[in-house]
Amino acid sequence: MVLGLISSVTEIVRVPIGEVWAAISSFGCERLWFPDMKSVDLKGYGIGSVRTYVFHEPGRIAWERLDYVDVENHVVRFAVFRNDLLTESVGTMKLKALDEGRTTFTWTAEVDLPEGLSKEQLQKEIDPMFRWLIYAVADAVKT
């Protein structure tokens, strides 16, 4: 398996870092902010725990395993397995406080590209999705 950086999306959200961190570090609670999520099932706790997403789109399922959390630097890293994309990938979410009310939110994806799929093709799908999800998190936790 050779992972390559496919996507890195950074947005500034008008939400304090603590509010955003509470949402993204709560592994297994994505249904609170992830649109189109039908259910989330969490097995285990902490590093190594696995969350299973079932989406409203029939047959679409994803599994994510929590691999790394850095509380001090606001980083969450997880392995991603999807039934519609037969490859391994890793997602990383990183936050940085700009000031009291604004946070820089970076979401990256590293993927072992399967044969027949280019970085550009995958990036066209992932970049807009990450932007959408970053703002979904921000909207869900705005005070």
Mean predicted confidence (pLDDT) in 67-75: 98
Q: Which tens digit of pLDDT belongs to each residue from 41-53?
A: 999 999 999 999 8
Yes or no: say if 106 and 94 are a contact pair by the CB < 8 Å rule. yes
Q: Which tens digit of pLDDT belongs to each residue from 117-143?
A: 888 988 998 999 999 999 999 999 986
Mean predicted confidence (pLDDT) in 75-89: 82
Instruction: Please report which residue ranges of 3-118 form alpha helices under DSSP H.
Output: 17-24
pLDDT at 60: 80
CA pair distance 130, 96, nearest whole angstrom: 17
pLDDT at 108: 97
pLDDT of 84 strictly over 70: no
Q: Which tens digit of pLDDT belongs to each residue from 7-31?
A: 999 999 999 999 999 999 999 888 8
DSSP 14: S
Q: What residues contact 140, with CB distance under 8 A and at least 6 apart?
A: 23, 32, 33
pLDDT at 79: 95
In terms of pTM, does the model score above 0.85?
yes
Give the chain's domains with CATH numbers: 4-141 (3.30.530.20)
| pLDDT tier at 86, thresholds 50, 70, 90 | low
Number of residues that this document lists for the chain: 143
